[in-house]
């Protein structure tokens, strides 16, 4: 058995580029949903302080380039946290 055959038999452990893009888009959509919540519903969420501060700032920005950059920043923050838990909290509010 050659080295190349060994590599072919190994499972691909990294997600594909398309899978990574879909995951990033899903986080961005979640960030947009969080920003659009009413103040009462937003206050009921249990979020990490860093994420909550970034969301509060995004809620104050107009719908232009600055808000788009802030949402991208929020997406990067959410990569460090359990997005499923945040989605579950959001589902409980709806």
Which pTM value belongs to this model?
A: 0.79
Domains annotated for the chain, with CATH where assigned, are: 17-93 (1.10.60.30)
Q: Give the H or E element holding residue 40.
A: helix 39-44
Which of 1-10, 23-32, 84-93 shows the lowest per-residue confidence on average (mean pLDDT)? 1-10
Residue 31: exposed, middle, or buried by beta-carbon count in 10 A (0-12, 13-18, 19+)?
Answer: buried
Q: Say how far apart CA 61 and CA 64 lie, in whole Å.
A: 8
pLDDT, tens digit (0-9, with 9 covering 90-100), for 58-74: 999 998 899 999 999 99
Q: What is the pLDDT of residue 1?
A: 47
């Amino acid at each position: 058995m050659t080295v190349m055959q060994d590599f072919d038999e190994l499972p691909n452990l990294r997600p594909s580029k398309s899978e990574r893009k879909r995951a990033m888009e899903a986080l961005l959509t979640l960030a947009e949903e969080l920003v659009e919540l009413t103040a009462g519903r937003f206050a009921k969420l249990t979020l990490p302080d860093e994420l909550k501060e970034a969301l509060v700032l995004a809620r104050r920005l107009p719908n232009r380039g600055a808000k788009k950059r802030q949402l991208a920043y929020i997406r990067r923050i959410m990569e460090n946290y359990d997005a499923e838990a945040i989605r579950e909290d959001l589902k409980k509010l709806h």
